[in-house]
Amino acid sequence: MSDSHKEIRICFIGESFVNGTGDPEFLGWTGRVCRNAESKGYAITHYNLGVRAETSRYLKQRWRSEVSYRLPPEHDGRVVFSFGVNDSGWAGKQQGIELSESIANARSILTQAKQLYPILMVSPPPCGDVEQEKRNQIIANLSQEFALVCNELDVPYLDVFSSLLKSPTWLTEAKANDGAHPKADGYAEFAVIVQNWEGWLNWFTP
Amino acid sequence: MSDSHKEIRICFIGESFVNGTGDPEFLGWTGRVCRNAESKGYAITHYNLGVRAETSRYLKQRWRSEVSYRLPPEHDGRVVFSFGVNDSGWAGKQQGIELSESIANARSILTQAKQLYPILMVSPPPCGDVEQEKRNQIIANLSQEFALVCNELDVPYLDVFSSLLKSPTWLTEAKANDGAHPKADGYAEFAVIVQNWEGWLNWFTP
């Protein structure tokens, strides 16, 4: 970290898609967007706090302790949230959160977080399995509701769901893998959407 | 994650060297060793719980909640610890732990952890700055004491300190960077030492 590089510490927090589950390159979309920012002259500390099977109910309980432990106030710390697929009930047990609760959880988490750090929110991605069409409908609906919450709270929101639903790479890889998680190419595509997003780019303007 | 792949979830926990701080490729040594295991036919979920400035005193307080949240008992979950550089006082504030406390903290953490998961311990690496020679002597001493604790508890222990102290790549990169953290080549070298270690390889035998 030379002095000429702006140092930023970023927590990415949410579910398995934040973790990068399924990516044999172990970067996921979060590692790729940090690599891209680093190549532009920033010194990024990347904290990946994605947890498999996470729902908004559990995220609400844990985000603050894990994030505040990593982002002491004397450093430039920021947070990117992304969750919702498990709220739709994808992985069964302890999942399947009512829409009204998901919305309330998102509002609570984001309201608290934005008082403490610069924050961004990225929508949940679609599942790849065509038999999950009903699930994708639930995720689409959740994404729209999260967009409204973010608009209300003035939190930048990125809808990756709509983009990835049109992506043969994401859907084909996810279907061939486990029905949900893609491999390297899918995560690379996710990363490109994020790193071209105004909300993300605004974090890296001089 | 096809059914033919053995699924393993691994938490890597400790300080900035576990986080991979300084690596412009955002893999660190932990991402690289997971990528290597994945290439051999395993489906690895990689949880990186390295936190900058972490000491054994704080690790002792947080490891269990963060690890148990990620490793539910129905999955094959394992833990790799690596800490000690900050106990030596590298980063100043809230650091610099007495040797006797570091040893007691390590014993407490490892005793609890081994009752819950298969665990491994990797020594702290050396600092790259030659002016930190006294610091490296403290880390060397700590590493030897951790080896004794691990031997006593029957926890596999890897001394990367001695190997990296002889590594021009590690020392030169770390010195040119911030005096402590290397860039990609240093972390790649660290990863090779781990992935050739019997303790790690024993986790991946049929």
All residues of chain B having their beta carbon less than 8 Å from the beta carbon of residue A65 are: 65
* In the predicted structure, residue B138 carries a pLDDT above the cut 60: yes
All residues of chain A having their beta carbon less than 8 Å from the beta carbon of residue B47 are: 19, 51
Per-residue pLDDT of chain A (206 residues; tens, 9 = 90+): 444 569 999 999 999 999 999 999 999 999 999 999 999 999 999 999 999 999 999 999 999 999 999 999 999 999 999 999 999 875 554 567 899 999 999 999 999 999 999 999 999 999 887 666 788 999 999 999 999 999 999 999 999 999 999 999 999 999 999 889 999 999 999 999 999 999 999 999 87
* In the predicted structure, residue B4 carries a pLDDT above the cut 70: no
Q: B3 by DSSP, 3-state: which?
A: coil
Q: Does A105 touch chain B (CB under 8 A)?
A: no
Specify the pLDDT at position A74. 95
| Phi, psi (rounded to 5 degrees) for A68 | -65, -30
pLDDT average, residue stretch B40-51: 97
d(CA A4, CA A41): 8
- Of the candidates A2, A26, A65, which has its C-beta nearest B35's C-beta? A26
Tell me which of B205 and A164 has the higher pLDDT.
Answer: A164
Computed over every residue of chain B, the mean pLDDT equals 93
Specify the pLDDT at position B96. 73
* Tens digits of residue pLDDT in B86-123: 998 755 545 678 999 999 999 999 999 999 999 999 99
Specify the pLDDT at position B23. 98
Specify the pLDDT at position A93. 46
Q: Structure tokens of A50?
A: 């994605």
Torsion of CA B138, B123, B119, B206, to 10 degrees: -160
Interface test with chain A among B26, B35, B52, by most A beta carbons within 10 Å? B26
d(CA B159, CA B128): 17
Q: Does A60 touch chain B (CB under 8 A)?
A: no
All residues of chain A having their beta carbon less than 8 Å from the beta carbon of residue B178 are: 1-2
What number is the ipTM of this complex?
0.95
Read off the pTM. 0.96
